Amino acid sequence: MSLTANCTFDLNTSSDFVGKRSGYIQIGDSTNNSGWAHHTVPITSVKNGSGPRVLVLAGNHGDEYEGQIAALDLARRLEVADVKGEVLIIPVLSGLASAAGTRLWPNGQNFNRVFPGKVDGTIAEKLAYFLSNDLFPTCDSVIDMHSGGRSMHFIPSITMVWVSNLELRKEMLRQSLMCKSEFTLLGGEQPSTNPDSLLPGDVVRQGKAVATGEFGGSGVTTAQSMAVISSGLENYLRGMGVYVGADVAASVYADSIDHHGKIIDSRDYSISFASASVDGIYENRVDLHQKVEAGDLVGLIHNFKSAENQVVEVRASRSGTVALVRGYSPVTTGDVVCQIGELFPDLESFEKSLTEKSAR
């Protein structure tokens, strides 16, 4: 039990409890203008007797708004009769960053790098500790919804890290495809990053499946990206057996019904990313979904300070489908500006390619 965070309603009800409750996670805070304060994080529980407990999370990064809006909508509309078991929703994990339109908290912390948190740490670390210590162990599965943030723009997709635990990998792949999004984007572990310090990594460390997605980007939302995420979330909850209500969101996203299940394999980050080699202003020269060959031009880096008006070219280091383009235009050396993966029409063709590769 965390000593520095608590929920305003009882999270440990009996298995036959029935009810919808909304309240706040309260974290002890002490600021210049408020010596004895609480930082509050809205949370909603909809429980209808025994069944799985699924944790719905969004706003891990402040400027990724699709998940926040989808979770806020879900928290409002979900009623006891829609649920079997319990749906626990935290729509905006990083509220201060969300309000500021930034990825990071105002103190510079990336909420997705502070796990398993600290009971006596910063507010972000205390919240992470509460999730890791008090919530994750009580949940059967977790969905963590992202959307690129201001710097990146993804094909709205379910994403999955190719975890080393084989049993968990199989279950996570099953859950990803259960969302019935048109695209599932497979990635590797983040380069030069401790995988356990990420929220999904902490869930995996605890031996549980986690579903993740990147549903757009550039720090904005569109009606299209909202349709993809809302249907994906509803399909996920229904697939987990915890949502038994009407089809509200899934039917508005026709693409997911007709064309779901494609896989983009970009697990090899050593070639899947294209990065800026100099500072400047980045111009996208490829669109999402576009097919490229290794060596193709994907973007240009301009320097508007110089009358020489020269550009630095950025080229693809592999062939495939463009899954991510640059959002925020100013770039610094090392910034990822494009991600490319191999597109498979379905799971079967992807798995066949894996078998062929291992046979070689």
* Cβ 42 to other proteins shortest distance, Å: 4
- Is 329 a binder of other proteins (CB under 8 A)? yes
- Is 292 a binder of other proteins (CB under 8 A)? no
Supply φ then ψ for residue 69, to 5 degrees.
-70, -40
Cβ partners under 8 Å of residue 323, min gap 6: 154, 155, 157, 183, 185, 264, 266, 288, 339, 340, 341
Q: In this chain, which stretch among 114-122, 125-133, 171-179, 300-308 interacts with other proteins, using CB under 8 A?
A: 300-308
Q: Report the C-alpha gap between 52 and 155 in whole angstroms.
A: 30
Secondary structure element (H or E) that encloses residue 227, with its range: helix 223-239
* Cβ 10 to other proteins shortest distance, Å: 15
ω into residue 91 within 30 of 0, thus cis? no
Is 323:185 a contact under the CB 8 Å cutoff?
yes
**Contact pick of 192, 270, 309, 358 for other proteins (by CB under 8 A):** 309
- Is 306 a binder of other proteins (CB under 8 A)? yes
Residues 28-47, interacting with other proteins (CB under 8 A): 40, 42-44
Q: In this chain, which stretch among 125-133, 189-197, 264-272, 308-316 interacts with other proteins, using CB under 8 A?
A: 308-316
- Is 333 a binder of other proteins (CB under 8 A)? no
**Contact pick of 57, 114, 135, 226 for other proteins (by CB under 8 A):** 226
Please give the structure tokens belonging to residue 4: 């520095």
Give the three-state DSSP class for 340: strand
**Contact pick of 76, 118, 259, 291 for other proteins (by CB under 8 A):** 76
Residues paired with residue 214 on neighbouring β-strands, in sequence order: 146, 157
- Is 75 a binder of other proteins (CB under 8 A)? yes
Residues 258-287, interacting with other proteins (CB under 8 A): 281, 283-287
Q: DSSP readout, 25-60?
A: EEEEEEETTEEEEEEEEEEEEEEESSS-EEEEEE-S
- The residues binding other proteins (CB under 8 A) are 22-24, 40, 42-44, 59, 65, 68-69, 72, 75-76, 91-92, 95, 98-101, 150, 153, 218-224, 226, 281, 283-288, 290, 300, 302, 304-311, 325-330
